[in-house]
Amino acid sequence: MTRTLLFAGAGERTEAWTRAFAEIAPEIDFRPYEPGQDISNVPYCLAWRVAPGLWAAMKQLKIIFGIGAGVDRLLADPGLPRDVPLVRMVEPELTRGMVEYVLWQCLFHHRKVWELEAAQNCAVWRPHTYPAPWDRTIGIMGLGELGAAAAAKLVEFGFQVRGWSRSPKSLPKVTSFFGPDQLPAFLSKTEILVCLLPLTSETRGILNASLFAQLPRGASLINAARGGHLVEADLLAAMAAGQINAATLDVFETEPLPPDHPFWSTERLYITPHNASVTDPRSAAWRIARQIAKFEAGEELDNVIDRARGY
Ligand code: NDP
Ligand code: OXD
């Protein structure tokens, strides 16, 4: 079988991906998609968001690789072949980047850096206190590849860490909760809430008024998962009421975030442009090539999406 991998995604990084496959996995015939190209025999596809009609044209497809960890966009495409395995991205650089982002933002909210900024803006030497990390509780929604790694880093820094997932977990020094019944207990002491859930029918809109009301007053929110998790109007209301004191959002229902969106001018709401972490082409190329080799040897693929669960 020809090892052709059609690249149907992330336009501006095409060069980096092409270079990565040439260097790391030259046995893969890596082909960026060009309109008009015959793709009827392509066995493998690496995709983020695919142009209409493209899936139907790939008649010999054996594996779809997602460029990202989250595959909600791919799953939402009605043209996505239902009987071809969909593999999400798991690679150490993506995990490392997310751990870095979560740590950065948790420290930012823990130390309430906006208070220092306000004092500096008025040239005022204002005493600024903050609790020790062991007196600060951080809650992570989603204890998968990224959430578990972020939790471990926060534990290392001495924070009280709790996590919430779908199934029970046992992670060193992380107080774990699972399922809808344990969500209120998880939220009740969470002062900094980090969302690292996949976007599924169960998790869409989960960051809403009812959830915010269950957090201690003045909590912080960090959403690095998907914009669809957040009910934007509920966050604005919770911030106006002081229930949520500050937030960092990396992901939005509409990306890029429109210039007239109220988030841009909301005090203590910090915006990053969906770059909490980014797949590293070199590290990913090696893993994709290994998965293809496994598949061709008749072995099981790793990180295949369970279509019924949606992640
Ligand atoms: P995983 O699939 O490894 O982990 C998902 C976690 O969420 C699991 O712990 C799972 O529980 C939990 N979960 C799923 N559904 C529910 C539910 N209904 N209730 C409670 N817990 C639930 O995903 P990753 O950690 O690799 O990635 C998480 C998400 O992060 C991605 O889907 C993507 O949207 C986002 N992301 C964002 C990036 C950015 O730059 N902003 C970069 C990379 C990813 P269980 O363990 O029991 O299955
Ligand atoms: C991802 C992302 O899901 O970058 O990997 O959002």
Which atom of ligand 2 approaches the CA of 275 most closely?
Answer: 4
Tens digits of residue pLDDT in 132-179: 999 999 999 999 999 999 999 999 999 999 999 999 999 999 999 999
Which atom of ligand 1 approaches the CA of 197 most closely?
Answer: 7
Q: Are 230 and 203 in contact (CB under 8 A)?
A: no
What's the pLDDT score for residue 49?
86
**pLDDT band at 12; cut points 50, 70, 90:** confident
Cα 219 to Cα 165: distance, rounded to the nearest angstrom = 20
Cα 28 to Cα 167: distance, rounded to the nearest angstrom = 37
Tell me how crowded residue 49 is: count the other CB atoms within 10 A of its CB: 14
142 CA from centroid of ligand 1 (Å): 5
Cα 297 to the chain's mean position, in Å? Answer: 31
* 310 ligand 1 Cβ < 6 A: no
Which atom of ligand 2 approaches the CA of 276 most closely?
Answer: 4
What's the pLDDT score for residue 1?
63
Cα 227 to Cα 105: distance, rounded to the nearest angstrom = 17
* 165 ligand 1 Cβ < 6 A: yes
What's the pLDDT score for residue 2?
76
* 69 ligand 2 Cβ < 6 A: yes
What's the pLDDT score for residue 222?
99
Kindly state the average pLDDT of the residues 55-61: 96
Share of the chain above pLDDT 70, in %: 99
**Mapping DSSP to helix (H, G, I), strand (E, B) and coil, where does residue 108 land?**
helix
| Residue nearest to ligand 1 atom 48, measured at CA | 166
119 CA from centroid of ligand 1 (Å): 38
Tens digits of residue pLDDT in 205-235: 999 999 999 999 999 999 999 999 999 999 9
Give catalytic residues, as residue numbers: 226, 274
Q: Are 145 and 68 in contact (CB under 8 A)?
A: no
What's the pLDDT score for residue 10?
62
**Mapping DSSP to helix (H, G, I), strand (E, B) and coil, where does residue 147 land?**
helix
* 163 ligand 2 Cβ < 6 A: no
User: Is pLDDT at 9 greater than 80 in this prediction?
Assistant: no
Average pLDDT, rounded, for the chain = 97
Cα 76 to Cα 49: distance, rounded to the nearest angstrom = 10
183 CA from centroid of ligand 1 (Å): 16
> Counting ligands in written order, which one lies closest to the CA of residue 146?
1
What's the pLDDT score for residue 281?
97
Tens digits of residue pLDDT in 75-112: 999 999 999 999 999 999 999 999 999 999 999 999 99
| Residue nearest to ligand 1 atom 42, measured at CA | 277
Sheet holding 192-195, edge to edge: 174-178, 160-165, 137-141, 192-195, 219-223, 244-249, 269-271
150 CA from centroid of ligand 1 (Å): 12
87 CA from centroid of ligand 2 (Å): 13
Longest dimension (CA), the chain: 69
Q: In this structure, what is the dihedral angle of CA atoms 107, 109, 159, 230, given to the nearest 10 degrees?
A: -120
| Residue nearest to ligand 1 atom 36, measured at CA | 225
What's the pLDDT score for residue 102?
99
Which atom of ligand 1 approaches the CA of 89 most closely?
Answer: 26
Q: Which of 175, 169, 219 is nearest to 193 (CA)?
A: 219
* 145 ligand 1 Cβ < 6 A: yes
82 CA from centroid of ligand 2 (Å): 21
* 142 ligand 2 Cβ < 6 A: no
CA distances from 308 to 7, 10, 50, 75 (A): 26, 27, 21, 11
Cα 224 to Cα 282: distance, rounded to the nearest angstrom = 23
* 70 ligand 2 Cβ < 6 A: yes
